[in-house]
Amino acid sequence: MFQDPGSTRLLAISPHLDDAVLSIGAGLAQAAQDGAEVTVYTVFAGTAPPPYSSAAERMHAVWGLSPDEDAPLFRRKEDIAALDHLGLEHRHGRFLDSIYRRLPDGQWLADHLEGGPKIAINRRAPADDPDLVAEIGEDIRSVIEECRPTLLVTCAAVLDHPDNQATRDAALFAAREQNIPVRLWEDLPYAIFRPGAVELPPGFVLGPPEFSPATEELRVRKFDAVAFYASQLAMFRGRDDNDTFGRLDAHARKTSADGGYGETTWPVLVS
């Protein structure tokens, strides 16, 4: 996946604290093992003061946290442990997860849905938020200046989540300004539950998917790293099929030509 000898410094732009490891942890670990400098910058890692939305309160309970516990801080500690296990550097952004944000009229961006650990984006929310994308882009430029990446990887945003879409678009615009090549990862495990098309902003074209095999040792290392995200595994257990690792494994092996484990990415072309 990242075997281009010129890709010596990788910057992964992750929407949330777990997305990069779940989606492309084996590939990032392989790159680090091969000698690349790999940094994961998580955009929506900021701490929000109470009061919280019903969606946030529900998620905190599912994650096994008390109402007054600093959930983002707890999750940042999980993330650091996971990335350390894979030999990756971390940077945590200041932006608030969707469950902590409000619309301009004061309503919460995310609502809780009854019947499980599910949230829904308020129907009054705009389809995109150019101001948020611009703000995220400024922070990504600062990280780019610090890390000087030769390759940038981020989410494909196969699910209609505003955090994922804003992260991807901001990363694409920032990378284009610096002429940095970009690859998009398949959003896991969400692409298993709700597969969808990838629609990029004007000026960007998605290349063909590429499946990159991972060794058994790297598959185990990735799954061990995912296990550090206890809060998120608790959330996934709310689904009908709670075998997260089994589903990740089966999904990859369906894509593989030889039935082995691996991860899927797409190159992005500038039109």
Q: Residue 244's pLDDT is what?
A: 87
Q: Is the pLDDT of residue 208 over 60?
A: yes
Which is higher by pLDDT, 69 or 178?
A: 178
Q: 93, 98, 47: which is closest to 72 by C-alpha?
A: 47
Question: Hey, which residues does 42 pair with through a beta bridge?
Answer: 14, 92
What is the pLDDT averaged over residues 59-88?
A: 93
**Across-strand partners of 9?**
37
The percent of residues above 90 in pLDDT, for the chain, comes to: 69
Q: What is the mean pLDDT of residues 148-171?
A: 94
The residue-averaged pLDDT of 194-202 equals 86
Confidence tier at 257 by pLDDT (50, 70, 90):
confident
pLDDT at 240: 47
- pLDDT of 124 higher than 70: no
Question: 76-104, pLDDT tens digit by residue?
Answer: 999 999 999 999 999 999 999 999 999 98
- pLDDT above 60: residue 172: yes
Which token pair is 157? 């945003």
Q: How far apart are CA 12 and CA 68, in angstroms?
A: 31
Alpha carbon distances (Å) from 179 to 135, 174, 270: 20, 9, 10
Backbone angles phi, psi at 184, to 5 degrees: -110, 140
* Range 230-253 average pLDDT: 80
The pLDDT confidence band at residue 160, using thresholds 50, 70 and 90, is: confident
SS (H, E, C) the chain: CCCCCCCCEEEEEECCCCHHHHHHHHHHHHHHHCCCEEEEEECCCCCCCCCCCHHHHHHHHHCCCCCCCCHHHHHHHHHHHHHHHHCCEEEECCCCCHHHCECCCCCECEEEECCCCEEEECCCCCCCCHHHHHHHHHHHHHHHHHHCCCEEEEECCCCCCHHHHHHHHHHHHHHHHHCCCEEEECCCCHHHHCCCCCCCCCCEEECCCEEEECCHHHHHHHHHHHCCCHHHHHHHCCCCCCCHHHHHHHHHHHHCCCCCCEEEEEEEEEC
pTM of the model: 0.93
pLDDT greater at residue 83 or residue 49: 83
Average pLDDT over residues 113-123: 64
Query: Would the pLDDT of 116 be above 80?
Result: no
pLDDT at 29 over 90: yes
- Please report which confidence band the pLDDT of residue 41 belongs to, taking 50, 70 and 90 as the band edges: very high
pLDDT at 15: 98
More confident residue, 117 or 98: 98
Mean model confidence pLDDT for the chain: 90
Nearest-5° Cα angle at 213, 229 to 236: 25
Least confident range from 113-122, 127-136, 145-154: namely 113-122
Tell me the mean pLDDT in the region 236-248: 72
**How far, rounded to the nearest angstrom, does the alpha carbon of residue 212 sit from its chain's CA centroid?**
18
CA-wise closest residue to 261 among 210, 209, 221, 219: 219
Domains by residue range for the chain, with CATH: 9-46+66-99+127-270 (3.40.50.10320)
Residue 111 · residue 119 · CB < 8 Å: yes
For the ranges 138-147, 161-170, 180-189, 233-242, the lowest mean pLDDT is seen at 233-242
Task: List b or e across 199-219, with b for residues whose CB sees 16 or more CB atoms inside 10 angstroms.
Answer: ebeeebeeeeeeebbbeeebb
Distances (CA, A) of 68 to 92, 163, 187: 22, 24, 30
* Percentage with pLDDT > 70 across the chain: 90
Query: What does the angle CA 62 – CA 69 – CA 117 come to, to the nearest 5 degrees?
Result: 15
